[in-house]
Structure 1
Amino acid sequence: MNETHIIQALLIFLQHEEASDDDFNQLALEIFAYQFAHNQPYRRFAIQRGRTPLTVKSWRNIPAIPINAFKDLTLSCRPIDQIAEIFMTSGTTGTVKGCSYHPTLEVWKKSMLLNFRRRFMAGSERIRMGILFPDTMAMPNSSLATYLDLAMQECGTPDSEVMVGEHGLDIDRLFSALEQAEASGEPYALLGASYSFVHLLDEMQRQQRRFALPAGSRILDTGGFKGQSREIGADEFYASLSHAFGIPRSHCINMYGMTEISTQFYDAGNERCPPVKSGPHWIRTRVVNPLTGDDVPDGEVGVLVHHDLAHFNSVSALLTEDAGVMVHGGFHLLGRVTGADAKGCSLTMEAFLASAQAPL
C-alpha cells in the first residue's frame, strides 16, 4: 500500500465503533510493511531482529522502537522536506528534543476528536472550556497545544478561552470565568498540563478561594509535573482538584499521551488511583520485558509497548519508558521504569542505534 491508500484505510478504520482482532491485525501488518519499505532506520532495526513483512504474521511481533530513538534519528516514511507538521517533545533547555513528522494531520485530528468526544465530552456536543496551556501560536510544535486547540475549536463554546499568556497563567481572567460558570449553572471544563493545575491550586490556596462548578463540569489533566511544579501524589492531587472546584473525582480525567504516538489514552475518572487507562480500537498495548520484547504475564509489572495504527508515517510500535501492568479493561500506568527495566530500555536503545548505523 502507498501513503494515500494507508491514509484512506485508516480514516475508514477510525470511524468503526470497534475492531476485531483480525481486522486490527490485517491493517497493522499492512502499515508495518509500508513503514519497513519507507523508513530506513526502522527497516535496519527490524532486519537485525529477524522481523520482516514476510516473517511477521501478528501485530504482537512487529518490532517496537525505543522512545528515545526519536531524539537520535529521523523516523519518517515521507522525506522531511515534504512534511507539513512537526511535533517536538517537551524538554528542558539544552536537552535534545525528539521530532515526530506528520505529512498531514488529517488522521491525527480524526483520531484525537473521535477519541476525545467519546472519552471526555460524555455525550455533550460543546462545553465552555478554560485552557491552562499555551496556544499553538506560542508553541507551534507542541502536540499538546495542538490537541487543546482542536478540543476548544471543535468541542468548546464560543466563550472558551486560553488562560495562559506571555506572563503565564492569567489568574484574574480564570477566576472571573469560574465565577460566571458558578452563576450561570452551565457546566465548565478545565483542561491543561498537570503542573498548571498545581500552580493554580497553590494560588487558590494562597487566596483562600474555592469554587462550586455546576453539575457536568469536568477536568482534564495530562503530562505530569516534569519539574515545572512541585511533585504531588495522585490521590492528593485529585482530592485537591475535587475540593477546589466542586467536581467529583469521577469527572477528573487524566489523558495519557505522547508526541511519539498519535493516539491518546484516557481513564474513567480518578476515584481510585491508579485508574484503568484504555485507548480506542486503533491502538493496542502490551506489557513486556524490554530486553526480550516478550509479554509478561497479566498482573505483572513490565514496560508498556503501544501499537498505534494512527502513527502511520513513523513507526507504529513504540517501546516506552513507562512501567505498567495489564488489568481487565486496559492497564495501570505506574510511572517511569526503574532498575532492571530501565537498564533493559537502555540496552534496547543501544541495539537500535547500532542496527540503524550498520550496513544492510
Structure 2
Amino acid sequence: MDIDKMDQEIMAQTLRFIQQETSSDADFNEQALALFKYQFTYNRPYQVYCRTKGKTPRIVKHWQDIPAVPINAFKEVTLSCTDAERASATFMTSGTTSGNKGKHYHPQLTVYNLSTLTHFKAAVMGATPSIPMGLLFPTPQALPNSSLAHYLALVSKEFGQQDTRYFINESGLLVDELIAELEVRVAANQPYALLGASFSFVHLFEALAARNQRFVLPKGSKLLDTGGYKNQSSALDTDTFYQQMTYYLGVEPSHCINMFGMTELSSQLYTQGSQTLPATITGPHWIRTRVVNPTTGEEVSEGEPGVLVQIDLANYNSVAAILTEDIGIKKDNGFLFLGRVQGAEAKGCSLALNEFMHSLTSANP
C-alpha cells in the first residue's frame, strides 16, 4: 500500500487512541502492535535492527517485547517512516555531549500537538481554563528546531491569556522586566504561571538573592520547569531547586511541576507537585515506561533501579520504544527519575547502541 495512505491511516488511528479518556492494557497492546507493524514495514533502519534481534510483527505479541532503539541512534541514522525531507517539522537535540544532534522528524504536528495539549490540560491546568503566563525560554522563531520552544508556544497559545509574554531574548533572561512583571502580578492578586527551562529559574533565583527580594505569587499560581538545574555559576540539587521555587516565588509545592520530556518523544510526562522528592513522574495513557537492564533488555526486579525505556504511542513516525539514558525506579503508574546513566548502566547503553549500529552495517556491507 502507498506510504502516504498508510501514514494518514496510522496517524488517524493514533489520534483516535489519544482522544480516548483512558486505555486498558489490552487497548494499549493492540495499538502498540499496530504501530510496531507500521514502523517495522516503513522504517528501514528499524526493520533491520528488529530482524537481527529476531523480532518481527509475526513474532511479537506484546508491547513489552517491541525492540527499543537506543536514544543516541537518533544522532546516527534517520529514523522516519516517511521521507524525512518532506517533514513539516524537525526537532533536534542540543548536541552538547558529542557534537552530533539527534533529529526527530514529524510529517505533520497534528499528533504531537494533540498529545501535548491533551495531557497538559489534564496534568497542569486541571479545571483552570486559562491563566496568564510568563515564558522563560526562546521563541520558536529564535529556535525553530527546538521541541521545547514549540511546546511552550503551543501550550501558551492554547491555555495562556492575551498578556502572556516571553522574558528571554538573544541577550538572555530579561531580569528587570520579569521582576517588574512579578510585582504587577502580585498586586493584581490573580493566579499567574511561569513556564520555562530550569536554568532560567536558577538565573531568576540568583537575581532575587542579589536584590534580597522575594515574592508571594497569588494563590493558584503555577510554576513549570523542565531540564536540569545547572548554569554557568552554580548547580542545584533537586531538593534545593524546589525549595527555592517556594522561597523566592511563594508558590506552594503542589503547584511546582516538573515537565519530563525529550526531543525523541512526542509526549511529555509530569510530576504531580514536589512535596516528596524524588517525585513520581507520570504520563498519559498512551505512554508506558519499562525499567530494564540495558545490556540484556530484560526488566529489573521490582523496586530496583534500571534504565528507562519509554514506549510512546504518539511517536507514530519514528519508533515507539526508546531506550533512554535515564536511570529510574518503577513506581505505581509512573517512575522515579534518579539521573543520567553512569558506570555499568552507561556501558550497557553504549553496547546497545553498538549493537544497533552493527546491525545496520552488517546488513549493508
TM-score normalized by structure 1?
Answer: 0.98
1:120 aligned to which of 103, 124, 127: 124
Task: Report the Cα offset of residue 256 of structure 1.
Answer: 0.4
Pick which of 48-57 and 162-171 moved more: 162-171
- Against the structure 1 CA distance between its residues 308 and 226, is the aligned structure 2 distance closer, same or farther, given a 3 Å change threshold? farther
| CA–CA distance in structure 1, aligned partners of residues 97 and 74 of structure 2 | 17
Letter aligned with residue 39 of structure 1: N
Instruction: Tell me how far apart the structure 1 counterparts of residues 97 and 334 of structure 2 sit (CA, whole Å).
Output: 35
4-13 or 102-111: bigger deviation:
4-13
Partner of 1:70: 74
2:47 aligned with 1:21: no
- What is aligned with 2:94? 90
Cα pair 2:202 2:231 within 8 Å, conserved:
no
Instruction: Give the whole-Å Cα distance in 2 for the aligned partners of 1:127 and 1:55.
Output: 49
**1:209: Cα distance to partner?**
1.3
1:337 paired residue number? 341
Alignment check: 8 A CA contact 1:254 1:267 kept: yes
CA drift of 1:312 comes to: 0.7
Aligned position for 1:209: 213
Give the direction of change, closer, same or farther, for the CA distance of 1:332–1:345 in structure 2 (3 Å limit). same
2:142 and 2:223 map into 1 onto residues whose CA distance is 23
Which letter does structure 2 place at the counterpart of 1:340?
A
8 Å Cα contact 2:229-2:241 kept in structure 1? no
In 2, distance between residues paired with 1:329 and 1:51?
27
> Which of 182, 192, 198 in structure 1 is aligned with 2:196?
192
Indicate if the aligned counterparts of 1:306 and 1:319 stay in contact, CA closer than 8 A: yes
CA contact (8 A) 1:195 1:229 kept: no
Query: For residues 131 and 91 of structure 1, what CA distance do their matches in structure 2 show?
Result: 23
Where structure 2 has 5 or more consecutive residues not aligned to the other structure, the ranges are none
The aligned amino acid for 1:188 is Y
TM-score by length of 2: 0.96
Match of residue 64 from structure 2: 60
CA distance in 2, matches of 1:179, 1:331: 37
CA RMSD of aligned residues (A): 1.3
Q: 1:241-252, aligned counterparts within 5 Å?
A: 241-252=245-256
Q: Distance in 2 between matches of 1:72 and 1:63?
A: 18
Q: Which amino acid aligns with 1:70?
A: F
Change (3 A) 1:128 1:61: same
| 1:273 counterpart letter in structure 2 | L
Give the counterpart letter for 1:2 in structure 2. Answer: M
Find out whether 1:268 has 2:272 as its counterpart.
yes
Equivalent-residue separation in structure 1 for 2:234 and 2:333 (angstroms):
32
Structure 1: gaps (5+ residues): none
Aligned-pair distance for 1:91?
A: 3.1
Matched, 1:81 2:50: no
Does the 8 A contact of 1:195 with 1:228 survive in 2?
no
Q: Secondary structure at the match of 1:87?
A: strand
| 1:213-235 C-alpha deviation (Å, 9 max, x unpaired) | 00000100001136556210111
